[in-house]
Amino acid sequence: MGRYASVRGWLEIDFAQRSAAEQVIERSRDELYSGGWAFPPKPFNWTLYLFYGGDLRQSELPWLRDQVAQLAVLPPVDDDNDRPRGMFLVTLDDREPAVMWQVREGRLDEVPAAELSWFRA
């Protein structure tokens, strides 16, 4: 049995970027793990939040990280030049520290997460 990671987080994108985001996810669809992606079923207000939540084999983390990196570079759709932004928390097991994938300004940065011992099962 392999080791697993828990990933949960979101991206804030413009409604006009939804189609491009869906294409990024569809291009590297995984029959099991792509099910972690979720869009709100009905748009409301001005920001579209794209969520991911799931437990996946650690060996599949690069697959998901690559998708998040592709989403991070979606071009702005208006004069505000707003790019996708968000955060994903990646927890492994007790032997490895948690990390955060921070998305901002067209980049995905991986940084150590705050101490989350209260958050683990």
Per residue in 30-69, pLDDT (tens digit) is 999 999 999 998 878 888 999 999 999 999 999 999 999 9
Which residues span the domain enclosing 57?
A: 4-112
CA-CA distance, 62 to 33, in Å (whole number)?
12
In a domain, 45, yes or no: yes
Question: How many folded domains does the chain comprise?
Answer: 1
pTM of the prediction?
0.90
DSSP string, 24-91: HHHHT--TTGGGGEE--SS--SS-EEEEEEEEEEGGGHHHHHHHHHHHHTPPP-STT----EEEEEEE
In a domain, 119, yes or no: no
In a domain, 80, yes or no: yes
CATH no. for residue 10? Answer: 3.30.70
In a domain, 121, yes or no: no
